[in-house]
Amino acid sequence: MDKKFPLTSDIPSPAHICPFDQACSYLDAAGKELRLDQGLLAILSNPRKVVTVSIPVKRDSGEIQVLAGHRVQHCDVLGPYKGGIRFHPAVTLREVSALAMLMTWKCALLGIPYGGGKGGIAINPKNYSAIELERISRRYISELIKDIGPSVDIPAPDMGTSAREMAWMMDTYSVNMGHAVPGVVTGKPLSIGGSLGREMATGRGVMIIVREALKDKGKSLEGIRIAIQGFGNVGGAAAELLHQAGAKIIAVSTGSGGVLAENGLDIQDLKVYQKENNRKISGYPQAKPISNAELLTLPCDVLIPAALENQITDENVDKIQANLIVEAANGPVTLEANLSLEARGVTVLPDILSNAGGVVVSYLEWVQGLSYLFWDEEKVNGEMENLMVKAYRKVVEQSQMRKISPRLAAYVLGVGRVAQAMNDRGLYP
């Protein structure tokens, strides 16, 4: 992994502002490396199905509001579509399309029998009551009844959604089917077929990838200085697990800002503070305040962007001081910034590998639900770790063999497996 090469030389200029263009650029680069047929690339560049539904919802005030709900199904050549549903103001159809494509490569890279899907509604959940969110969730999934199912498309939580929303969606689908269908969604509460280990899964996967990458550099987690942008479900879990393993978490942040402690934060104490202060970490007495922008440029060994996309761009990339960047968020490093980091010898481990822990445990939850045989947390974590380490080792091997960057290696593996399956299945009719 010492040799870094540009992902692609002909980057479309809007890639840094359009997630779908960026996703297609990564696909094209992998296609060139694999020498894929242009017709096959054209198929893979387009989602198989795009659904946009109208969601009328009665607000608590009595007002009727009509929302647009999207579900993009990119490719199911390896198995049912799989991907989260996000409630966020920035949701667009092109963003959802990009994320669905990335899910296809992620599942293929990890060797799990899923294709890629993604859904979303452009709302800020904080502006809606729990009753209103339930109405939105139930109406959204009822409009998608014909397009989802445990062998067709399996939604999961994403930004702005949680086990609560998945429970509503599973119940809505089940009521319409006339019987309980626990396998229609993953990320459910334990009481209705959820899996142990799911809550920490994505963060645990990030921890595993950081640990393995440091191992390749002859280092352990002990004393390693880590900065994490994002302190929610993913970043918070990663911070906790890395801290437990001996790493120094010197800074974390949320949307409203972050905190810095040069000698390392007490993550458990910070989580208690966060819970007591309405999810905010600003004002934490054992640390200095720091902005999100400042966090990204701190001198540290490992930087983990675990918030939103497009955080490391051509505007701040020259200030990045970390030697290892692990993408816990989807697309936090723009294409141009990635090229710049690779040219400097910075190792960037891509999102389709680093944050795959969530979809792996979603798969394990689905398997448990179909078999009605449920595992303890140790077994779930063990199975997830096995798949994550195996995928990481294959990325390293591919990177070294082809003399390409880890990002391109990950895409070559994911895209290659899907392309092989498509060739084997053939084109209908």
Identify which of 364, 348, 102, 327 has the alpha carbon closest to the alpha carbon of residue 234.
327
Task: Give tens-digit pLDDT for 14-61.
Answer: 444 578 888 999 999 999 999 999 999 999 999 999 999 999 999 999
Cα separation, 163 vs 150, whole angstroms: 17
Query: What value does the mean pLDDT take over residues 97-105?
Result: 96
Are 47-181 and 201-354 in the same CATH fold? yes
**DSSP assignment, residue 17?**
T
Q: Which of 4, 82, 118, 248 is catalytic?
A: 118
pLDDT the model gives residue 129: 98
pLDDT band at residue 10 under the 50/70/90 scheme: very low
Q: In what order do the strands lie in the sheet with 248-254?
A: 288-290, 257-260, 248-254, 225-229, 302-305, 324-326, 347-349
Please give the pLDDT value at position 19.
82
The pLDDT of residue 9 is 35
How far apart, in whole angstroms, are the C-alpha atoms of residue 27 and residue 47? Answer: 13
Determine whether domain 47-181 maps to CATH 3.20.20.70: no
User: Is residue 403 over pLDDT 90?
Assistant: yes
Q: Is 58 marked active-site?
A: no
pLDDT at residue number 127: 97
**Of residues 33, 38, 154, the one with CA closest to residue 100:** 154
Residues 338-367 have pLDDT tens digits of: 999 999 999 999 999 999 999 999 999 999
**Mean pLDDT, residues 174-179 taken together:** 97
- Which token pair is 341? 């980091």
pLDDT at position 14: 44
- The tokens of 117 are what? 């899907």
Instruction: Let me know: does 350 contact 309? Beta carbons within 8 Å.
Output: no
pTM: 0.92
Mean pLDDT of 120-147: 97
Q: How far is CA 406 from CA 114, 283, 421, in A?
A: 22, 38, 23
Min mean pLDDT across 193-197, 293-297, 306-310, 365-369 is at 306-310
Question: Structure tokens of 378?
Answer: 């140790």
The residues that bridge with 64 in the sheet, in sequence order, are 58
Residue 259 clears pLDDT 90, i.e. is over it? yes
Cα–Cα–Cα angle for 172, 185, 182, rounded to 5 degrees: 70
Q: Could you state, in order of their start, the residue ranges of all structural domains in the chain?
A: 47-181, 201-354
> What is the pLDDT, as a whole number, of residue 255?
85
Fold of 201-354: Rossmann fold (3.40.50)
